């Protein structure tokens, strides 16, 4: 069976190019994730790995779609190999059915990881420069009625409200709630 794994980093990104590629290959089954490739904690990746059987081939547009670091890439392809499943990356022309393909997979995986790490390093450097110039302040702080928040927190401490109900009321996340509680010494 021909299986295609498709991944976009965010919901806003479009997987149309990858889907079109899959159609051209007459793929039998497509798995689509809308999640970062920074780790392997992706629902459809897990489903795809559970689905494939011996003799299947997993295709993807390029290796950065399946993994963004060498360790994850090698672990995924090893899992596929252990099941008797081939892996083909179309952009890099890598086919793990051959020894050369396995070698090139490692090389390109290392290059993809280097690219990701370089992007993150440049981003961190840019943020540090912007901070030094007073142009980067971080995310805008969520604004809400602090007096009402204090009153609700008081009731929470007295057991009259739950933390979750307060989070819903002020439309804030759990980390934001507990950070604000700490800042206000509640």
Residue-level pLDDT at 25:
94
Tokens representing 126 are 């840019």
6 & 94 share domain: yes
Given a cut of 80, whether residue 137 has pLDDT beyond it is: no
Tell me the pLDDT band of 28, cut-offs 50, 70 and 90.
very high
Tell me the DSSP string of the chain: -EEEEEEESSTTS--HHHHHHHHHTT-SEEEEEES-SSSS--HHHHHHHHH--TT-EEEESSHHHH-SSHHHHHHHHHHHHHTT-EEEETTTTEETTSHHHHHHHHHHHHHHHHHHHHHHHHHHHHHHHHHHTT----SPPPP--HHHHHHHHHHHHTTSS-HHHHHHHHT--HHHHHHHHHHTT-
The answer to whether residue 138 is domain-embedded is no
Residue 48 to residue 4: CA distance in whole angstroms = 9
Given a cut of 80, whether residue 139 has pLDDT beyond it is: no
28 & 86 share domain: yes
Tell me the pLDDT band of 9, cut-offs 50, 70 and 90.
confident
Q: What is the pLDDT of residues 108-130, one digit of tens each?
A: 777 877 887 898 899 999 988 98
Q: What is the pLDDT of residues 31-48, one digit of tens each?
A: 999 888 888 899 999 999
Q: Which of 116, 131, 166 is the C-terminal boundary of a domain?
A: 116
96 & 170 share domain: no
Residue-level pLDDT at 104:
83
Residue-level pLDDT at 14:
82
Query: In total, how many domains does the chain have?
Result: 2
86 & 45 share domain: yes
The answer to whether residue 134 is domain-embedded is no
103 & 155 share domain: no
The answer to whether residue 137 is domain-embedded is no
103 & 12 share domain: yes
103 & 24 share domain: yes
Residue-level pLDDT at 51:
97
Q: Which of 116, 137, 170 is the C-terminal boundary of a domain?
A: 116
Q: What is the pLDDT of residues 47-103, one digit of tens each?
A: 999 999 999 999 999 888 998 888 888 889 989 999 999 999 999 888 888 888 888
What residues make up the domain containing 9? 2-116
Tell me the pLDDT band of 21, cut-offs 50, 70 and 90.
very high
**Catalytic residue check, 36:** no
Residue-level pLDDT at 38:
81
Q: How many CB atoms lie within 10 A of CB 72?
A: 18
112 & 151 share domain: no
- Within 8 A by CB and 6+ apart from 25, the residues are 2, 4, 59
36 & 109 share domain: yes
Q: What is the CATH number of the domain that holds 99?
A: 3.40.50.1390
53 & 104 share domain: yes
The answer to whether residue 68 is domain-embedded is yes
Tell me the pLDDT band of 20, cut-offs 50, 70 and 90.
very high
Residue-level pLDDT at 96:
85
26 & 107 share domain: yes
Q: Which of 94, 116, 138 is the C-terminal boundary of a domain?
A: 116
Residue-level pLDDT at 42:
93
């Amino acid at each position: 069976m021909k299986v295609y794994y498709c991944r976009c980093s965010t919901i806003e990104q479009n997987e149309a190019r990858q889907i079109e590629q899959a159609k051209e290959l007459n793929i039998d089954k497509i798995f689509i994730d809308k999640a970062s490739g920074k780790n392997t904690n992706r629902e459809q990746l897990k489903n795809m790995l559970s689905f494939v059987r011996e003799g299947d081939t997993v295709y993807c547009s390029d290796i950065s779609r399946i993994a963004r670091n060498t360790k994850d890439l090698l672990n995924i392809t090893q899992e596929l190999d252990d099941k008797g499943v081939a892996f083909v990356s179309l952009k890099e022309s890598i086919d793990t059915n051959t020894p050369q393909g396995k070698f090139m997979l490692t090389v390109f995986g290392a290059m993809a990881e280097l690219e990701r790490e370089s992007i993150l390093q440049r981003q961190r450097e840019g943020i540090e420069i912007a901070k030094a110039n007073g142009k980067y302040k971080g995310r805008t702080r969520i604004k809400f009625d602090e007096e009402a928040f204090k009153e609700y927190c008081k009731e929470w401490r007295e057991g009259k409200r739950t933390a979750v109900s307060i989070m819903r009321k002020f439309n804030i996340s759990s980390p934001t709630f507990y950070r604000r509680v700490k800042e206000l010494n509640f």
